[in-house]
């Protein structure tokens, strides 16, 4: 490409976006007009026509705009994917940051050999965990229609499409849009956990198995293009390990609907869908095994495996052996299918797990037979077929097993505290005051109990609501492990971990439910117990808590029991990005997470244990979101050993994995980023960055400004009236309650609706507030340190990442709309005081960011600026409607006219949902 001019990707990408958007908006307008809604069609944005001058907005405008914004989101995604392809075509595999081609080239340039990088690849283990927090504002059936529309958009860009095919495509597009319109965009009834589970299963069963071979191909192709020996990564063992997890059906923190029965059903569904996915893989494999028996007789080992399979199946094998007699390789594939513990019904909903003596019980049995087939193909000289046809199936079995994804069990430490108290009381020990015991008293009691394998109570005994709930769940896990092994179960996660006793209590509860074993070195827990550090205080105490936990004899025994052959002892630690932000603001949250992870990793090294960090990232900047590769590059040095878990929450799941191309791209960002960052952590220096002290000072100043706002007189009334938080609490977004315990306090409010409500009102406050004050104090008191920070931004990935994210949040705000939402606050004194603080900080933050960067954001990030600009006018229409609806709805509630208020609620929720679609984020 030297000497040639690069294409203007931004212009090309937005040109494609505008063309596709115009097409889809035209289709939607025709559908609405055909259905007799010409007045709504007239309000469609991006149609090229001026909007009606009439100030009265149609009642169903929210639904129209929500669909319109979804169309915009789809064409943006499609355009971004097309530009990635174009960049790779014009500039090669190194063009796109965050992907294998770029990382491998950079590492090679730094002197890394193929063998050194391959060693790191074998350490890599990534596990995205799909959750169903209440951030997904759209109905599940609506998401299915979005998937169909995306496929239709992709079909439209084919260059060889005929006129008749183009007309047919337009008709199909209009039919899907009509279906969307008639379905309705919002949930009037809260979704059941089974609905959320159904949605997650789609990605686990249908998307990720299709992504996996593409992901591996991208690595192998980039590896070869970089000039490394392809044989170095030819085996499955040489590839980065990928697996998946889920919280749906296991996360019961503040969610009374997640019962033991729900967990049991979820484990069954995961097993069933894993078998469905593997059945699909084996059917495809069998169809490819058309090798003639007389040209390639079965090698001895495969012949023996063939005979053994037929014998295990008994009469079930007779039909298979009676057909394709001259194709024994295909017969072998069909015998593998017949041994799957699965009964195939007429449709997917009627498939059933089929246990029996003929069937495989464990995935490793299928792996052994597939390996025999693979080796036999190599023996007869068909190595290409072994690589192309069998290796991907072996890889799928390695990744998905018979469990598809691991199910985590999460519960709050306070719930466990109550459960243990009830258990003690039922056993004749006075546990009524356990919550008030000192930590010393708790540890003394727990240590004494953990020296004994005997439970407190008989399994049929009742102890109290919390105790019975925990033990019922744990007994489901114990039964599942006894039957299928531990592969399908993740970890026992303790949210709001605040002390060592919060973790040791889990061992006692696990002992009660049969999840422990008495080993030669003491009591052993079969499942990992994982602390979740969320608040600033907890993050600061976390190294001390973790050290004491790792040094405890039950933990050491448990880690040895859970240890995989050839691997180190591994302790998982989860860090939350939401509550620390709600506590102290964006800079303090990010700094304490950064510092906490570095300290936790150091504790692990000192204790001889590898720390597997589990990042609880949400869908917005203030809850840990941000570009995946930049997030990984910003991790504290030495905190990543190749092994990582990260949550994918709410609407981000559909955005990142809604279609095959985008899902492959996002998975490559994660896997390649983890590999490259791990290499850097192992081979780079580990001295603290020289800007750390400066950043810590800025973070401390920012926290003071943030807390002044939250503690200011009238802040809570301002928050409740200037944002639609009250309407959100009436919404049916997600199956989980908006509050942990139901108390009407800011502390009890989950971080998700806290962020959602500020974003809706275009304050985006949790993503930036306090930053300006922190930077200004440094600028005024230590100008030379401010200059050091200014010149050092690009040298410290953490600082670059944090400031870029703050900048994205501030860019998404709208000062005019802030004032309009603030006008809903009834008390003028409160309104002027709190809004004055927010606007002053907003101006300070923008000013300081420009000083620090030297160039305004619009010039440095033209793509983002143009993306926001496209949305601005249409969003303003919706915001004005929402403000009007909120005002009228609240007036009805104040008058006590609940029936009229309830009648208005769907229209208000439509507006909220449409704005969420336009912003591409909720909480």
Give dist(CA 802, CA 820) in Å, integer: 29
- Residue (of 331, 298, 305, 300) closest to 316 by Cα position: 331
Residue 564 appears among annotated catalytic residues: no
Tokens of 318: 């007779």
Phi, psi torsion values for 162, nearest 5 degrees? -85, 160
Helix or strand holding residue 504 (H, E): helix 500-513
Catalytic residue among 138, 269, 582, 656, which? 582
Residue 582 appears among annotated catalytic residues: yes
Q: Who contacts 167 (Cβ-Cβ below 8 Å, separation ≥6)?
A: none
**Which residue intervals of 92-245 are DSSP H helices?**
100-109, 114-123, 140-156, 163-183, 193-201, 208-226
Give dist(CA 237, CA 231) in Å, integer: 12
Contact between 180 and 139 (Cβ < 8 Å): no
Alpha-carbon distances, residue 762 vs 308, 613, 816, 875 (angstroms): 66, 33, 9, 10
Helix or strand holding residue 522 (H, E): strand 522-525
Partners of residue 524 on adjacent β-strands: 517
Q: Who contacts 191 (Cβ-Cβ below 8 Å, separation ≥6)?
A: 139, 140, 732, 734, 735
DSSP state of 739: B
The three-class DSSP label of residue 251 is strand
Phi, psi torsion values for 324, nearest 5 degrees? 50, 45
- Residue (of 132, 129, 97) closest to 613 by Cα position: 129
Estimate to the nearest angstrom the gap between the alpha carbon of 268 and the chain centroid: 22
Q: Which residue has the tokens 């229409």?
A: 877
Instruction: Give the β-pairing of 241-242 and 125-131.
Output: parallel
Tokens of 280: 């699909």
Tally Cβ neighbours within 10 Å of residue 706: 27
Give dist(CA 677, CA 670) in Å, integer: 10
Tokens of 233: 């990564």
Between 536-551 and 586-607, two packed helices, what is the crossing angle to 10 degrees?
10
DSSP state of 569: -
Q: Who contacts 434 (Cβ-Cβ below 8 Å, separation ≥6)?
A: 417, 420, 421, 424, 442
Burial per residue of 429-467, b for 16 or more beta-carbon CB atoms within 10 angstroms, e otherwise = eebeebeebeeeebbebbeebbeeeebbeeeeeebeebb
DSSP state of 302: H
DSSP state of 388: I
Q: Report how far apart the first and last C-alpha atoms of the chain are (Å, whole number).
A: 42
**To 10 degrees, the CA torsion angle through 649, 654, 656, 662?**
160
Q: Which residue has the tokens 């692990």?
A: 604
Q: Who contacts 614 (Cβ-Cβ below 8 Å, separation ≥6)?
A: 129, 493, 530, 572, 573, 574, 575, 644, 645, 646, 647
Catalytic residue among 16, 133, 403, 629, which? 133
Contact between 797 and 630 (Cβ < 8 Å): yes
Contact between 137 and 916 (Cβ < 8 Å): yes
Contact between 334 and 309 (Cβ < 8 Å): no
Estimate to the nearest angstrom the gap between the alpha carbon of 340 and the chain centroid: 30
Catalytic residues: 133, 582
């Amino acid at each position: 490409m030297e000497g040639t001019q690069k294409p203007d990707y931004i212009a090309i990408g937005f040109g494609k976006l505008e063309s596709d958007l115009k097409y889809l908006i035209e289709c939607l307008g025709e559908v609405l007009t055909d259905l007799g809604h010409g007045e709504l069609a007239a309000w469609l944005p991006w149609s090229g026509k001026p909007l009606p001058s009439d100030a009265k907005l149609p009642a169903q405008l929210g639904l129209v705009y929500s669909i319109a914004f979804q169309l915009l989101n789809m064409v943006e995604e499609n355009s971004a994917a097309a530009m990635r392809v174009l960049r790779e075509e014009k500039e090669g595999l190194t063009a796109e940051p965050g992907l294998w081609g770029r990382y491998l080239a950079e590492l090679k340039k730094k002197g890394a050999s193929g063998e050194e990088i391959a060693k790191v690849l074998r350490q890599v283990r990534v596990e995205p965990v799909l959750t169903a927090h209440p951030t997904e504002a759209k109905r599940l059936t609506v998401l299915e229609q979005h998937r169909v529309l995306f496929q239709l958009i992709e079909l439209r860009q084919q260059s060889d499409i005929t006129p008749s095919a183009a007309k047919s495509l337009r008709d199909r597009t209009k039919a899907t849009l009509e279906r969307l319109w008639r379905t309705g965009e919002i949930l009037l009834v809260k979704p059941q956990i089974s609905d959320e589970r159904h949605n997650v299963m789609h990605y686990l069963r249908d998307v990720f198995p299709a992504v996996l071979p593409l992901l591996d191909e991208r690595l192998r192709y980039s590896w070869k293009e970089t000039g490394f020996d392809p044989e170095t990564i030819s085996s499955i063992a040489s590839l980065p390990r990928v697996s998946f997890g889920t919280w749906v059906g296991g996360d019961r923190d503040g969610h009374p609907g997640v019962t033991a029965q729900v967990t049991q059903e979820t484990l069954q569904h995961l097993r069933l869908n894993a078998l469905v996915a593997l059945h699909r893989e084996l059917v495809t494999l069998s169809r490819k095994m058309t090798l003639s028996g007389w040209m390639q007789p079965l090698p001895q080992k495969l012949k023996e495996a063939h005979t053994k399979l037929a014998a295990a199946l008994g009469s079930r094998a007779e039909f298979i052996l009676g057909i394709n007699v001259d194709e024994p390789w295909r017969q072998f594939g069909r015998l593998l299918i017949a041994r799957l513990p699965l009964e195939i019904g007429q449709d997917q909903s009627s498939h059933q797990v089929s246990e029996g003596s003929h069937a495989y019980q464990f995935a490793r049995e299928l792996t052994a037979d597939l390996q025999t087939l693979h080796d036999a193909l190599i023996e007869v000289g068909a190595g290409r077929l072994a690589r192309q046809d069998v290796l991907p199936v072996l890889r799928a079995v390695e990744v998905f097993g018979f469990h598809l994804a691991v199910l985590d069990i999460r519960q709050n430490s306070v719930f466990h505290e109550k459960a243990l108290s009830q258990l003690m009381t039922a056993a004749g020990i006075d546990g009524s005051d356990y919550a008030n015991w000192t930590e010393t008293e708790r540890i003394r009691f727990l240590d004494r109990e953990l020296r004994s394998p005997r439970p407190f109570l008989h399994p049929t005994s009742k102890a109290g609501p919390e105790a019975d709930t925990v033990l019922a769940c744990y007994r489901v896990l114990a039964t599942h492990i006894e039957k299928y092994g531990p592969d399908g179960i993740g970890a026992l996660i303790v949210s709001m971990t605040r002390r060592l006793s919060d973790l040791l209590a889990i061992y006692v509860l696990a002992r009660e439910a049969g999840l422990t074993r008495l080993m030669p070195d003491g009591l052993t827990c079969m499942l990992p117990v994982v602390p979740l550090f969320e608040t600033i205080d907890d993050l600061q105490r976390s190294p001390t808590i973790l050290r004491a936990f790792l040094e405890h004899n039950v933990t050491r025994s448990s880690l040895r029991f859970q240890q995989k052959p050839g691997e180190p002892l591994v302790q998982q630690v989860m860090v939350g990005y939401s509550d620390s932000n709600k506590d102290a603001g964006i800079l303090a949250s990010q700094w304490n997470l950064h510092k906490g992870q570095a300290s936790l990793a150091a504790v692990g090294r000192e204790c001889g244990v590898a720390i597997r960090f589990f990042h609880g990232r949400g869908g917005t900047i203030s809850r840990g979101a941000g570009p995946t590769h930049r997030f990984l590059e910003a991790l504290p040095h030495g905190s990543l050993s190749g092994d990582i878990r990260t949550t994918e929450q709410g609407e981000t799941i559909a955005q990142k994995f809604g279609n095959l191309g985008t899902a492959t791209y996002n998975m490559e960002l994660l896997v390649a980023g983890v590999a490259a960052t791990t290499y850097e952590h192992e081979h780079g220096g580990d001295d603290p960055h020289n800007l750390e002290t400066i950043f810590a000072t800025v973070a401390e100043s920012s926290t003071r400004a943030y807390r002044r706002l939250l503690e200011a007189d009238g802040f809570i009334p301002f928050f409740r009236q200037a944002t639609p938080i009250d309407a959100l609490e009436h919404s049916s977004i997600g199956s989980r309650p908006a509050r942990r315990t139901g108390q009407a306090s800011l502390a009890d409010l989950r971080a998700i609706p806290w962020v959602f409500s500020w974003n809706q009102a275009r304050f985006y406050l949790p993503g930036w507030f306090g930053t300006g004050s922190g930077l200004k104090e440094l600028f005024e008191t230590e100008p030379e340190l401010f200059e050091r920070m200014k010149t050092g931004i690009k040298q410290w990935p953490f600082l670059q990442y944090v400031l870029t994210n703050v900048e994205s949040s501030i860019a998404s705000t709208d000062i005019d709309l802030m004032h309009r939402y603030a006008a809903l606050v009834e008390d003028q004194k409160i309104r002027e005081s709190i809004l004055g603080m927010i606007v002053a900080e907003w101006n300070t933050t923008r000013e300081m960011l420009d000083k620090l960067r030297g160039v305004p954001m619009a010039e440095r990030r033209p793509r983002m600026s143009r993306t926001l600009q496209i949305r601005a006018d249409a969003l303003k229409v919706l915001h004005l409607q929402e403000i009007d609806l909120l005002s009228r709805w609240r007036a009805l509630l104040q008058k006590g006219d609940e029936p009229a208020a309830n009648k208005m609620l769907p229209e208000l929720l439509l507006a909220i949902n449409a704005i969420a679609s336009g912003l591409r984020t909720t909480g």
